[in-house]
Chains A and B, each alone.
Chain A
């Protein structure tokens, strides 16, 4: 079982729909990242959070530390939101984690006009 699991793996939506991508993890973490990757490989960091909720524009990220679960929501989705969304966790501070990230397999989002 992977340490970081995302669902769904593929998601198709119509423009304007509300979208949710889920991430569950099985290890202790100091932070969780939501990343966006467009074709061509470039990765953009959307959120880094260790508790609660963060909002940026139409994007909302939440995390429940006790349940080891995070969600990324996109309100009023748009075709330009089409990308791969990746959840990644940073190991607990100290030890030998060095802050390296462990990634989920990604969710491919396609938003149709």
Chain B
């Protein structure tokens, strides 16, 4: 079956350009997470959606970062006026889990989008 799909796999942009990264979660998955992984580091949480509601955006590093999931399935992470420090792999993960209940639902990860800002 289809897993989490992210596109594009690679994105190169000039500093100051806007970029949009897409995530197609596994069908029926309620929870969707975005993570940012800098080179040589572990991923760090950016934001969380439960269906179409963005319940936690505490990890977004600045107001240049914006995420949406308008119909509760596909999500887009947008970065405006990109800076070199935005260069990273952006990972999307989805799961069946809701905000509470037994922790018995694993997160399924996409292959990520590697963003390079020149």
Contacts and interface: CB of A to CB of B under 8 A. Distances in A.
A110 to B, nearest CB: 15
Give the size range of A's interface with the partner: 20 to 34
B107 A96 contact: no
A101 B36 CA distance: 12
Contacts of A42: 109-112
B43 interface: yes
B95 interface: yes
Given A43-B109, A48-B106, A98-B50, A105 B41 contact: yes
Contact of B42 (A44, A86, A94): A86
A90 B112 contact: no
Interface residues of B, number: 34
Contacts of B67: none
A113 interface: no
B108 A93 contact: no
A103 B44 contact: yes
B55 A98 contact: yes
Interface of A: 4, 30-31, 33, 35, 40-45, 48, 50, 86, 88, 90, 93-94, 96, 98-106
**CB-CB nearest 4 A-B residue pairs:** A103-B42, A41-B112, A31-B103, A43-B109
13 contacts: A4-B42, A43-B91, A45-B107, A45-B109, A48-B103, A88-B43, A98-B50, A99-B97, A100-B56, A104-B42, A105-B42, A106-B41, A106-B42
